[in-house]
Structure 1
Amino acid sequence: MTHPWFAGASRPRILAHRGLVTPEGAASGMAENSFAAVAAAHAAGVAYVESDCHLTADGTVVLFHDDTLERVTGDPRRIAEVGLAELEELMAERGGLITLAQALDAFPTIRFNLDAKADGVEVPMGREIAPFAERVLVASFSDDRRRRVLDAVAAAGRGIRPATSAGTGTIARVVAAAALRSNRMVRRALAGIDALQIPERQGRLPVLSRRLIDAAHRHDVEVHVWTVDEADDMRRLLDLGVDGIVTDRADVGLRVAAERR
């Protein structure tokens, strides 16, 4: 049965990577993963926003990609060392901090793709996701961390589980199994997985292939490719058969997607 995260949404799926920050938005000081960036993605008409979860010093789950504040604010401290109130001050002129709870409440039509970025975020993240699991996909490079979030959702006892994508270890097993043309190994590796979210290549090594796409599709698993910002690259990947594009330029992605509907 198709998870509600996928059901009823137009395809191909365009996932706004950390919200939407256009060149104009960046010039105004808007930061990725800010309240303004999520609002801009919503205003552009995207159904899906990809974001990242960290835990503050006082236990609040916030949308933020890096372990530290340095790239976004110039502050070298780790997110885990800073309290919510101070983070809000630091992000006030950068589009505004957004917590996970705020994102899920303020944007009820958005389906979130949420990456658990740090150990310790799993249980609070899972508890907050649980009432909204029908419109959340849980991701992480770490399969163990991803499973801990899912376990926390289940422990909250709200019913439906979130959708989930494969971590790095699972992806490696699927890629190897597809290369070996072993349907049994692919099926085993993809057990419990709803989406493969992968780069086209890792360094010089190709990850994406038509064989991998076909193997995933045989087991009703979608393939989403990150991070793709050029329209011609989006078209090429969609022609290859991918189901979704994760992009910093969701506005461009929506135009490409509209060409195919």
Structure 2
Amino acid sequence: MLAHRGLAVSAPENSLLAFQHAVELGIDHVETDVHASRDGHAIVAHDDDLSRVGGVAARVDALTAAQLSRVDLGGGHHVPTLVEALDAFPETRFNIDLKSEAAIAPTVEAIRVTGAEHRVLLTSFSEQRRREALRLLPGVATSASGPRFAAALLASVVRATPLVRRALRGLHAVQIPERAIGLRTATPSRIRAFHAAGVEVHVWTINDPADMSRLLALGVDGIVTDRADLALAVIAERS
């Protein structure tokens, strides 16, 4: 299970407390997002501005890391840097979505200075961002960008196995919604095709226990969820 922005039931999303709540439950994979601050630090945040999570009408890239550290997300919890998050949870695996081109270099630097290369997976909807991150950090795990997955999905429609494999070559996972470009993504035949191409299948964002159980029964390898607590109960019941 991948805890989507941590476990934010009683903590601000993408905060150190949200990650802590997930880790304390026994979750060892968390999903998060990264932007760049004005002074070039990798900042853990989903949105490009702070209006929704912090009540501040300012863009993340318009503030320094020090200024961002003073934004109260609730209960005194702040907007963390990626270095803080990786340092705070040294045994946890981080699935990191690169939200902007400016975030690439500081994210790579944060991973390097914390020695986290072996426990991160970098992803982006942008193939250009994914490729640039991989160029700077050779060998790091990555999942399919939007264009790469679209090509694989369309190839799976006509059961063109070699084309599915070509579209997913060099990747470690596809991380997908249940529907994309008007097609169901997590059917038994498509899951088999993606597995045959050598990638794991992670489906997002699944919060209903019945849906979690159904997808696990189909053979998906991971569920990205806001409710890691419910997901653990589903796994316990299935086992």
Confirm or deny: 8 A CA contact 1:51 1:64 kept in the other structure: yes
Q: Please, what TM-score do these two structures have when normalized by structure 2?
A: 0.94
The 5-angstrom pairing of residues 211-226 of structure 1 reads: 211-226=189-204
- Does the alignment pair 1:85 with 2:66? yes
CA distance in 1, matches of 2:94, 2:212: 21
Q: Secondary structure at the match of 1:98?
A: coil
Confirm or deny: 8 A CA contact 1:36 1:96 kept in the other structure: no
Identify the structure with bigger relative contact order (alpha carbons < 8 Å, sequence gap 6+): 1
Q: Secondary structure at the match of 1:242?
A: coil
Q: Secondary structure at the match of 2:238?
A: coil
User: Number of matched residues?
Assistant: 236
Q: Please, what TM-score do these two structures have when normalized by structure 1?
A: 0.86
1:188 to 166, 177, 184: 166
Confirm or deny: 8 A CA contact 1:222 1:242 kept in the other structure: yes
The 5-angstrom pairing of residues 104-253 of structure 1 reads: 104-130=86-112, 131-154=115-138, 161-202=139-180, 205-253=183-231
Q: Secondary structure at the match of 1:138?
A: strand
Number of the residue aligned with 2:237: 259
2:27 to 46, 60, 72: 46
Number of the residue aligned with 1:59: 40
Would you identify which runs of 4 or more consecutive aligned residues in structure 1 move more than 3 Å? Answer: 202-205
Going from structure 1 to structure 2, the CA distance change for 1:169 and 1:115 (only over 3 Å counts) comes to same
The structural deviation recorded for 1:106 is 1.3
**Identical columns (%):** 44
The structural deviation recorded for 1:203 is 7.8
CA distance in 2, matches of 1:58, 1:85: 9
The structural deviation recorded for 1:92 is 5.8
The structural deviation recorded for 1:204 is 5.4
2:7 to 12, 20, 30: 20
The structural deviation recorded for 1:201 is 1.3
Going from structure 1 to structure 2, the CA distance change for 1:202 and 1:216 (only over 3 Å counts) comes to closer
CA distance in 2, matches of 1:107, 1:135: 11
The structural deviation recorded for 1:60 is 1.0
List per-residue Cα deviations over 1:101-154 (Å, max 9, x = no partner).
Answer: 111111011000000001111112112223211100001111110111111223
Confirm or deny: 8 A CA contact 1:129 1:153 kept in the other structure: no
List per-residue Cα deviations over 1:197-221 (Å, max 9, x = no partner).
Answer: 0000148542332221000111221
CA distance in 2, matches of 1:119, 1:15: 24
CA distance in 1, matches of 2:203, 2:150: 15
Q: Secondary structure at the match of 2:101?
A: coil
Confirm or deny: 8 A CA contact 1:18 1:33 kept in the other structure: yes
Confirm or deny: 8 A CA contact 1:127 1:152 kept in the other structure: no
List per-residue Cα deviations over 1:154-212 (Å, max 9, x = no partner).
Answer: 3xxxxxx2211001000100001111111110111111111010000148542332221
